[in-house]
Structure 1
Amino acid sequence: MRDYEFSSASPSLSPALSSPCTPLHSRVESWSRATGHKAEVLIRVQGKCFHLHKDALTSRSTYLKRQLTDFVSDFALPLNISAETFTLVAEFCYGAHLVITLLNLAALRTAAELLEMTESNCDGDDNLLHLTDTYFRQVVAVNRDYASVVFRSCLSLLPEAETAAFLVSGCIEAFALSNDGDGGADWLNEVITVRPEDFQIVAEAIQRSFGNHDVVYKLVDLYIVRYNEKITEDEKTQICSSIDCSKLSPQVLLDAVQNPIMPLRFIVRAMLIEQLNTRRTIISAAAAAVAADHTQIQPHDHHDNKKSIEPTGEATTLGSLLQRDTMIRQSAQLRATMAATSSRIQSLEEELNGMKKLLDECHEKQENSILLEDGRRSASFHYGTNENSNKITKGDKASASSASFRILSGKGSAERSEGTSNWSSSCKGTPRSTKKISERLINGLKKAFRVSGSAKEAASKDKIIRFDPFEAQCLLITIP
């Protein structure tokens, strides 16, 4: 590593502040002896207490000048600054020579921005903000390896390292200015370790540093692949919102359309941009072809017809071939895009059909369970018998399978339903027709249920069948 004016061995920060051996404690004691004033301000930083002089701090920090008024003697620092970093800042306020390294640059630069350390002392020394900015421009911005070290140290200081100090953007610009053609692909693995809320800040910094968004898309793709099962669909959509599809190259845009891990909303947006780009290309190619044809038919002077026609014809023919090749490539690209789109839509339709099938199966199971319960509660058989017999013969077992028959005795004929009264009264008035109808019905029932011969004779001699067209029931009534 080259030696710079800013860098040397970093001082040890491990001893406790209360120890008399610490450089800060020694400087505070020296300041007290020189001014005759003891430390009157207690500043708390991440659980550590610093007894310091108000004049020493306010002479360098505009932020502390606003906070440490005459009525404030105990102040808890609410900023994203560690106790070790504040120790270095306090030493700098007491006039110590500050040692800036690659490892503490991000913390010091962020602290300088948050504390607004833009004030110079009476000796004309530079302020902390200017020192850190100079170190970054002269050492980090010109060396990609150094920029990678600073970039990693910035990740733990987000979002202040970018929103206040713009260190992430500076490191990414250093990557972009490097001579490598991969666009800084090795540091992408470092970026994907950030949290989803901080990732948005890094993505926006990359947007400002690169002309297109190919690197942003690659970064988002790596991040979603790594945390696909740990982030929600809304977080994926929020992360993908940092990509401007109109700034993607054609190859990357085609890959985005075919990427299955991307959220559906982003894929639809990429498809629309792809269609718009293809349409613009076709329109521009057609306009160029029309302009070439218009140039070809312009009148020429009679004296140089022979000299000018042949070269113009060759140029026009070559231009037409180039236009044709361009149209063929664009058509092939359009077909590939449409095929990818159709494949994506087909996969989505298959998923929807599968979900619909599962819903239909659930509804079918529910309906089957309801039908089974209704079948258990279906209408049973009701039989009325004579005084001498209350059992069903074997020949009548077949007829017992019908759920719409009632057998009533002669004495209980008064209990038959009201819906059959009209039909039964008409049958009593015409006994011959009643017998014919009953015989026909009995014969039909015999054939349908294969009743035995003995049962047939008993049914024809002793019983009359009445049919109720409204209740769809046949009543077997014993003749008294």
Structure 2
Amino acid sequence: MNAWGNLGMVETIYEEEYECSTGSPSLSPTLSSPSSTPLHSRVEAWSVATGHKSDVSIHVQGTCFHLHKDPLTSRSIYLKRHLTQVKELTLSPPLNITADTFALLANFCYGSHVVITPFNVAALRTAAELLQMTETDVNGDENLMQITETYFRRVIAVNGEFAMVVFRSCLPLLPEAETVAFLLSRCLEALILTHDSDDAEGDGIVSCFDDVIKMPAEEFQIVADSMQRLRSHDVAYRIVDYYIKKHSGKITEDQKTHICNSIDCNKLSPELLLDAVQNPRMPLRFIVRAMLIEQLNTRRVIFSATANQQPQRDRIQLDSMTLGAILQRDATKRQAAQLKAAMEATSSRIENLEKQLHGMKKLILECEEEINENMSRSIVDSGRSASFHHVPVNRIKRGERGSSSSMSYRFSGKERALWSSNSEEFSDETPRPGAKKSIGKRLISGLTSAFKVSSNPAWKHGSK
């Protein structure tokens, strides 16, 4: 590592830039420092010191750089990863790096200090992020990412003029300048913090974005998205409104809606929120969202005012009350609580009584139904008993004429044959509709024929 000492490495210096920024500097849009050693001289000095010629070739926007692998990979993780097995590399999109910017990066890798200005800080900061230049040298010096970040915080973030310069230099580097380093949004924050305090509405800031207003809708969408990080969206709303006004009839409603989606209505001041509700240039969806937020804010203010006034009213009433009034109020509250408890207990008892009454009614109905059913059954049974078990006053004794016992031996041969034939027909006959009626008729006819025996002369002669 004696080669690094032979090259006479120096630290990165930007104190001169601080001195220029304190006065009235005439900013020069140069990317390289006139006092910096040209890159080819650095490469030749490295070859002489190490005895090795350049071993890698890197192409950037049509320019070929013949460099050494070791100094590049010692500072950049990206180059270290891609130059492991190849000796030729092309830095093409999405790496948004120009040839001049890469020359400054290569000089830094060879040990040269980089003079940072408001004109090149955006390009260097973005390139440092894309190439992952987070490695320090053997002496522990800061990497390029740390150096550019420190310069931005110390110089750009506190100066509105420099912030505007960096903002404009970020536009050709979109979207990488915002997606990897958040430069665009931080420049807007610096402009808001450093703008004239008399310009309360921010019109002075909006007037500085002429380059932004000329951008197409797709690129302006990136700018609008970068403003979402702002704590207040007042400036974002004014810029979007100004852009829509200048591009009236040139952009579609969908593009307007997508651009306005980057504005958070919750971060708008009440004045601009009311302006958004009444702004005819804004898309309908954004106006509806602003109306909802405005109504919620109004409701919140009303509730807050009511909540603040109620304790004051209660405190005033409490201060004006005497001891007797306080005791009477407490007694009234206790009585009200007791009355409420008694009412709840009474209501519970009434509910229980209603349930019991309902059960009793149900039981009575069931008993009445059972009694009616028993009465109907008894009436039917009594009717059947009267029809089949009627006995005359003068009962027929056993063996007398007309008794059932005398039928078995008083029938003549002819009547017995008739009865047996009827019985066989009755037993062999298959059931059919009207069978009950035929059985009854046969039974009556049989009994009639049996009682006709009394008219038979032979029966009379036998009885005598």
Counterpart mapping for 1:108-257 below 5 A: 108-178=124-194, 180-181=196-197, 182=199, 185-188=203-206, 189-190=208-209, 191-210=212-231, 212-257=232-277
* 46, 66, 74: which one aligns with 1:31: 46
CA distance in 2, matches of 1:301, 1:154: 69
Q: Is structure 2 residue 71 aligned with structure 1 residue 53?
A: no
* 14, 17, 22: which one aligns with 1:4: 17
Counterpart mapping for 1:64-103 below 5 A: 64-70=79-85, 72-78=86-92, 79-103=95-119
What secondary structure is seen at the aligned counterpart in 1 of 2:65?
strand
Percent identity (aligned): 60
Counterpart mapping for 1:70-469 below 5 A: 70=85, 72-78=86-92, 79-178=95-194, 180-181=196-197, 182=199, 185-188=203-206, 189-190=208-209, 191-210=212-231, 212-298=232-318, 300=320, 302=322
CA distance in 2, matches of 1:41, 1:216: 46
CA deviations on 1:206-232 (whole Å, 9 max, x unpaired) are 33233x322221111011111222211
Structure 2 gaps of 5+ residues are: 1-14, 21-26, 326-464
* Contact 1:162/1:169 (<8 A) preserved: yes
User: Aligned AA for 2:281?
Assistant: I
User: Aligned AA for 2:73?
Assistant: T
Structure 1 gaps of 5+ residues are: 16-20, 306-480
Query: Using a 3 Å threshold, how does the CA distance of structure 1 residues 246 and 4 change in structure 2: closer, same or farther?
Result: closer
Query: Using a 3 Å threshold, how does the CA distance of structure 1 residues 303 and 272 change in structure 2: closer, same or farther?
Result: closer
Offset at 1:292? Answer: 4.0
User: Aligned AA for 1:251?
Assistant: E
Match of 1:40 in 2: 55
CA distance in 2, matches of 1:130, 1:263: 43
Match of 1:322 in 2: none
CA distance in 2, matches of 1:213, 1:117: 33
CA distance in 1, matches of 2:172, 2:29: 20
CA deviations on 1:21-69 (whole Å, 9 max, x unpaired) are 9811122122222222221211111121111111121011111001111
Query: Using a 3 Å threshold, how does the CA distance of structure 1 residues 261 and 64 change in structure 2: closer, same or farther?
Result: same
* Contact 2:256/2:283 (<8 A) preserved: yes
CA distance in 2, matches of 1:264, 1:237: 8
Query: Using a 3 Å threshold, how does the CA distance of structure 1 residues 282 and 81 change in structure 2: closer, same or farther?
Result: same
Query: Using a 3 Å threshold, how does the CA distance of structure 1 residues 202 and 6 change in structure 2: closer, same or farther?
Result: farther
CA distance in 1, matches of 2:84, 2:187: 38
* Contact 2:53/2:68 (<8 A) preserved: yes
* Contact 1:6/1:135 (<8 A) preserved: no
What secondary structure is seen at the aligned counterpart in 2 of 1:297?
helix
* Contact 2:163/2:191 (<8 A) preserved: yes
CA distance in 2, matches of 1:10, 1:27: 24
CA deviations on 1:432-453 (whole Å, 9 max, x unpaired) are xxxxxxxxxxxxxxxxxxxxxx
User: Aligned AA for 1:186?
Assistant: G
Offset at 1:83? Answer: 0.8
What secondary structure is seen at the aligned counterpart in 1 of 2:58?
strand
Offset at 1:294? Answer: 3.2
What secondary structure is seen at the aligned counterpart in 2 of 1:150?
helix
User: Aligned AA for 1:64?
Assistant: L
* Contact 2:133/2:145 (<8 A) preserved: yes
CA distance in 1, matches of 2:138, 2:29: 26
Offset at 1:194? Answer: 3.8
CA distance in 2, matches of 1:108, 1:299: 69
CA distance in 2, matches of 1:136, 1:6: 15
CA distance in 1, matches of 2:41, 2:185: 38
CA deviations on 1:371-410 (whole Å, 9 max, x unpaired) are xxxxxxxxxxxxxxxxxxxxxxxxxxxxxxxxxxxxxxxx
Offset at 1:142? Answer: 1.8
CA deviations on 1:263-282 (whole Å, 9 max, x unpaired) are 11111111222222223333
Query: Using a 3 Å threshold, how does the CA distance of structure 1 residues 43 and 299 change in structure 2: closer, same or farther?
Result: closer
Match of 1:463 in 2: none
What secondary structure is seen at the aligned counterpart in 1 of 2:134?
coil
CA deviations on 1:264-322 (whole Å, 9 max, x unpaired) are 111111122222222333333344444444334336464999xxxxxxxxxxxxxxxxx
TM-score when normalising by structure 2: 0.58
* Contact 1:6/1:100 (<8 A) preserved: no
CA distance in 1, matches of 2:310, 2:243: 47
User: Aligned AA for 1:34?
Assistant: A
CA deviations on 1:302-344 (whole Å, 9 max, x unpaired) are 4999xxxxxxxxxxxxxxxxxxxxxxxxxxxxxxxxxxxxxxx
Query: Using a 3 Å threshold, how does the CA distance of structure 1 residues 10 and 185 change in structure 2: closer, same or farther?
Result: closer
What secondary structure is seen at the aligned counterpart in 2 of 1:121?
coil
* 47, 59, 63: which one aligns with 2:78: 63
What secondary structure is seen at the aligned counterpart in 1 of 2:64?
strand
Report 1 or 2 for greater relative contact order, CA contacts < 8 Å, sequence distance ≥ 6: 2
Query: Using a 3 Å threshold, how does the CA distance of structure 1 residues 10 and 294 change in structure 2: closer, same or farther?
Result: closer
CA distance in 2, matches of 1:240, 1:11: 36
CA distance in 2, matches of 1:63, 1:83: 17
TM-score when normalising by structure 1: 0.56
Query: Using a 3 Å threshold, how does the CA distance of structure 1 residues 47 and 112 change in structure 2: closer, same or farther?
Result: same
Larger Rg: 2
User: Aligned AA for 1:122?
Assistant: V
